[in-house]
Amino acid sequence: MLEFHTIDLKRDRDRILQFRRSSFIESFRDCSSFDKNEYLTWIAGKVREFPDGFVVVWDQKQSVGQVECSIRMYEGERIGYVHLFYLISEKRSMGLGARMHEYALHFFQKHHVEEFHLRVSPTNKSALEFYKKIQMKYCGSELDGKVIRMKGKV
């Protein structure tokens, strides 16, 4: 059974840095642009603002992933935003991603939004397949083609 625990920087610092670096490598084949101090400062602020949106995912006694969700404005509308869905490779294709998605949907429902967005690298084929499987739709290319914006219904 998966458990979702708010990120505690004292307890989870190394874990979330590892997960975020891995996400950069999987998405962009490189993590040289990842600034750990900037990320930790950003996470600290987001955890204060959305404690139930920034969580480490546990399967029994093992940390297996991370979810980062918030609420923001986009083109004049209040939407949910997924900053990160990360699941360690050995736990993929086991239905856990769908459970993480359900957690995010519950977060968005609590915040009364009807739509959520995320951005994904066009080279991250497994993520793109997962997002299509959960009925997300293509919105367009951003950042000179480095990412694709997708949206889903809550």
Q: Looking up tokens 């293509």, which residue turns up? A: 138
Q: In the chain, what is the greatest distance between 2 CA atoms, to the nearest angstrom?
A: 42
For the chain, which domains are there? 2-153 (3.40.630.30)
- What is the model's pLDDT at position 58? 97
- What is the model's pLDDT at position 70? 98
Angle at which helices 9-28 and 36-49 cross, to 10°: 120
Strands 54-59 and 2-6: antiparallel
Instruction: Decide: helix, strand or coil at residue 40.
Output: helix
Per residue in 4-51, pLDDT (tens digit) is 999 999 999 999 999 999 988 888 887 777 899 999 999 999 999 999
Per residue in 99-149, pLDDT (tens digit) is 999 999 999 999 999 999 999 999 999 899 999 999 999 999 999 999 999
- What is the model's pLDDT at position 73? 97
Residue 15's H or E segment, with its range, is helix 9-28
Closest among 102, 65, 105 to 84, alpha carbons compared:
65
Task: Decide if 153 contacts 142 (C-beta within 8 A).
Answer: no
Per residue in 56-109, pLDDT (tens digit) is 999 999 999 999 999 999 999 999 999 999 999 999 889 999 999 999 999 999
Q: Which amino acid is at 69?
A: C
